[in-house]
Amino acid sequence: MGYTITPERKFSPNADYRKYIIMNKSNHSYAINNQIVSVFPNDCWKHRRCFIIGGGPSLKGFDFSRLKGELTIGINKAFESFPDATINYAMDSDFYNKMKKGVYDRTPDEKLWDKWLSFKGTRVFLTPMEIKEFGKEVHLVRRNIELMFTRELNDGIYGGCNSGFGAIMLAATLGAAQIYLLGYDMKTTDTQSHWHGGYPNRDLVDFNKKLTKYKREIQNVLPQLRMLGVEVTNLSTDSELKCLNTDTLENVLKESICPVIKM
């Protein structure tokens, strides 16, 4: 499809060269996989609102039927309990590999991979920094290695250092004017990192340190989003993400919405 892979040379300390190699591989991966632009046209969520489902423990037991008819993005393992999301977004290709190998299976008879394949929405991954071919069920959004924002979906998104940040950027690039965050707790409980059971052997102390970085990344991009008319609101009632306006899901759902456009 017009992409050429340049043979890797010996290690260079030059940061620009490293970025060149990364993006060379990433662009090739984008070319050999299905692409999100084949499913979603530019600005298809224009003037719409979107709900993003994070992983915070506050969503344990949440009734996802409350979001019926809304534009929604579930993050990582959200599809396991929320098979009706518009999009399920992830950025870690190793997550895909482990899921396919059964690493996250609860029992031999309850395979996460089967739930992945039966997911009703669009499965989206950020294009990896290595050369990788996903299954045909996956659609990639192009990776930008530095922070930028565009309404042209084929120009891609800056995914940041975690899927929660990337999902916000994806919703904004699709045209959403109002983005509501659920499960963006930015903290763990004493025993749990995620509402869906988390990940095996996760070090909660180390993960909380990562959450500090995740909070800072979201905070830093907010002024740029607001300048472009994108408002992000936190619906998590007990969250450490203090940089956002807050509201409740009950209040937001009282507001009327436009009909969802079928793709």
Structural domain includes residue 2: no
Strand partners, 178: 49, 231
Q: According to DSSP H, which parts of the chain are helical?
A: 15-32, 93-101, 112-118, 163-173, 204-227, 249-253
Task: For residues 181 and 41, give the distance between their C-alpha atoms in angstroms, rounded to a whole number.
Answer: 23
Q: Is 178 helix (H, G, I), strand (E, B) or coil?
A: strand
Structural domain includes residue 106: yes
Token pair of 255 as six digits: 């507001």
Structural domain includes residue 259: no
Task: For residues 19 and 127, give the distance between their C-alpha atoms in angstroms, rounded to a whole number.
Answer: 14
Q: List all residues 6 or more positions away from 248 whose beta carbon is below 8 Å from its beta carbon.
A: 235, 237
To which residue do tokens 């903290």 refer?
187
Tell me the residue ranges of DSSP E strands in the chain: 34-35, 49-53, 71-75, 87-90, 122-126, 138-141, 143-144, 157-158, 178-182, 231-234, 245-246
Q: How confident is the prediction along the chain (263 residues), in pLDDT tens digits per residue?
A: 444 444 444 555 577 767 878 889 999 999 999 999 999 999 999 999 999 998 887 888 899 999 999 999 999 999 999 999 999 999 999 999 999 999 988 888 889 999 999 999 999 999 999 999 999 999 999 999 888 777 789 999 999 988 999 999 999 999 999 999 998 887 765 555 555 665 556 666 676 677 778 888 888 899 889 988 999 999 987 877 888 889 999 999 987 655 444 44
User: What domain range is 245 assigned to?
Assistant: 15-253
Task: For residues 219 and 103, give the distance between their C-alpha atoms in angstroms, rounded to a whole number.
Answer: 33
**What pLDDT is recorded for position 164?**
92
Instruction: Give the burial class of 177: count Cβ atoms within 10 A of its Cβ; 0-12 exposed, 13-18 middle, 19 or more buried.
Output: middle
The CATH number of the domain holding residue 47 is: 3.90.1480
Tell me the torsion sign for CA atoms 39, 178, 77, 214. positive
Structural domain includes residue 261: no
Instruction: Give the burial class of 245: count Cβ atoms within 10 A of its Cβ; 0-12 exposed, 13-18 middle, 19 or more buried.
Output: exposed
Structural domain includes residue 191: yes
**What pLDDT is recorded for position 143?**
94
**What pLDDT is recorded for position 259?**
47
Task: For residues 112 and 172, give the distance between their C-alpha atoms in angstroms, rounded to a whole number.
Answer: 29
User: β-pairing, 138-141 with 143-144?
Assistant: unpaired
For the chain, how many structural domains are there in total?
1
Structural domain includes residue 112: yes
Task: For residues 168 and 177, give the distance between their C-alpha atoms in angstroms, rounded to a whole number.
Answer: 11
Residue 47 φ/ψ, nearest 5 degrees? 65, 10
Task: For residues 125 and 139, give the distance between their C-alpha atoms in angstroms, rounded to a whole number.
Answer: 6
Structural domain includes residue 63: yes
CA proximity to 47, closest of 144, 176, 152, 214: 176
Structural domain includes residue 58: yes
